[in-house]
Amino acid sequence: MGTFAQLGNDLYTGKRSIDIIGRRKTWYLIAVILIAISIIGPFLRGGFVFGIEFTGGSQFQVSKVENRDESIATNAVASVVPGQTPRVLLVGTDSLWVQTEQLTDEETAQVKTALAKGFDVPEEAITSSFIGASWGQDITRQAIIALIVFILFAAVVMTLYFRTWKMSVAAIISLFHDLIITAGIYGITGFEITPAAMIGFLTILGYSLYDTVVVFDKIRENTVKGELNEVRTFAESVNLAVNQTLVRSVNTSIVALLPIGSILFIGAFVLGAGTLRDISLALFIGVLLGAYSTIFVAAPVYAHIRSGEPQIIKHDEKVRARREAQKALETEEDSETSSGAIKA
């Protein structure tokens, strides 16, 4: 802890400082490349893989199976509906799911019997479901409506809270950054998009902005009138705020990722396919991205869009003029001033 807390101290006082705002072109470049890959990648791979909830179809859940041989399922389905190749998913330690195109009631009953015979389980151990294709469309439509409404509301709330729309814009740019890249990762890797994954995406909305608000609150504090002094330029004040909240950002991300990681682990390795895995995967990616983008996208963008304001330009000029005057000290940044003070 000592070293981490020490780092926290140094970042707080400005003794050590990571120049984030100054290197904004680097971060922009990275963001643009990532977003480009996220948009082009899925197309190269062949589009997104949608779960049965979006494509529609029938699903059989077979539990308490000893021999989970996929070919048994394939044969059972083929014996009823020739030419159908089902998708077989292993779930948990003793279950498997068999997904087919939508079957008639009669076919469903026959497949059930065939599966029960094939896997040597009683028919009660098999449950069947069917999902219409419009189910997924409905969810998607509602999700998109929710997304738009949320962004509008959040933009207004943040504008009122921070008393500048520029913070809203920066936060929402970073939000889109997170959403596009998360979707891109799904598209590129071929992870299945299920309603549970959609829930994960939507939560990223909240989390990404949540994280941004915490950091922006510090930025606001450092750049209000009276705080914005002649030692630092505006961009440097923003940078200091990001540095001061860096320890918190790291701690928060880790604390958020630990439980999500444990669901992901349990979901993926114990349960196999299913709600838990899908939610946690989207969240895991989203939280990582959310923390990253707050620091490397939202803050630089905010400093950038404010840099054109006459007041800021004037202020920055003043700071630079002051620095020119104290060239003797050869201090470009007050961070170094402070380290000097500590050595004294």
Partner 1 sequence: MAKSAPVKKAWRYLAWLLVVIVALVGLNALGVLRGEGSWTPKLALDLEGGTQIVLAPVLQDGEQVTSEQLAQAVSIIRQRVDASGVSESEITTQGNQNIVVSIPGTPDKATLQRIQASSQMQARPVLLASAAATAGTSATDASGNPISTETPAPGDSPDAPALSDTPTTAPTGPGDVAWITPALQDEFDKYTCSAGATGEPDPKKPLVVCDTSQTEKYILGPQEIAGSSITDAVAQQETTQTGATTGSWAVQITLDGEGTKKFTDLSKRLFGSQPPLNRFAFVLDGAVITAPSMNGLITDGRPSITGGFTQESAKALADQLKFGALPIGFEVQSNETVSATLGTSQLQSGLLAGLIGLILVVLYSLVQYRLLGLVTVASLVIAAIVTYLLITLMSWQQGYRLSLAGVAGLIVAIGITADSFIVYFERIRDELRDGRGIESAVQHGWKRALRTILASDGINFLAAAILFVLAVGNVRGFAFTLGLTTLVDVLVVVLFTHPILTLLASTKFYGEGHRFSGLDPRQLGAVYRGRAQFKAPAQDAKGKQAKSSREAARRQTIAERKAAAQAEAGNTADNVSAKSRKES
Q: Which of residues 76-105 bind partner 1 (CB under 8 A)?
A: 91-92, 95, 105
Q: How far is the CB of 313 from partner 1 (least distance, A)?
A: 21
Comparing CA positions, the residue from 296, 237, 223 lying closest to residue 14 is 237
* Among 185-193, 208-216, 297-305, 312-320, the segment contacting partner 1 (CB under 8 A): 208-216
The two beta strands, 87-91 and 95-100, are antiparallel
Residue pair 68/38 in contact by the 8 Å Cβ criterion: no
Cβ neighbours of 239 (radius 10 Å): 28
Residue keyed to tokens 């859940």 = 61
Quick note: the x/- pattern for partner 1 over 126-155, rule CB under 8 A, is: -xxxxxx-xx--xx--xx-xx--xx--xx-
Residue keyed to tokens 């308490």 = 64
Q: Does 332 bind partner 1 (CB under 8 A)?
A: no
What's the rounded Cα separation, in Å, for the pair 69 and 84? 17
What's the rounded Cα separation, in Å, for the pair 279 and 197? 5
Cβ neighbours of 177 (radius 10 Å): 24
Q: How far is the CB of 210 from partner 1 (least distance, A)?
A: 5
Task: Please state the length of the chain.
Answer: 344
Q: Which helix (H) or strand (E) holds 140?
A: helix 133-162
The two beta strands, 87-91 and 192-193, are unpaired
Comparing CA positions, the residue from 126, 70, 125, 135 lying closest to residue 102 is 135
Q: How far is the CB of 82 from partner 1 (least distance, A)?
A: 25
* Among 79-87, 177-185, 211-219, 306-314, the segment contacting partner 1 (CB under 8 A): 211-219
**How many binding residues for partner 1 (CB under 8 A)?**
99
Q: How far is the CB of 93 from partner 1 (least distance, A)?
A: 8
Q: Does 267 bind partner 1 (CB under 8 A)?
A: yes
* Among 26-34, 183-191, 226-234, 294-302, the segment contacting partner 1 (CB under 8 A): 226-234
Between 130 and 165, name the residue whose CB sits nearer to partner 1: 130
Q: Does 178 bind partner 1 (CB under 8 A)?
A: no
* Among 21-29, 30-38, 181-189, 323-331, the segment contacting partner 1 (CB under 8 A): 323-331
Q: How far is the CB of 166 from partner 1 (least distance, A)?
A: 16
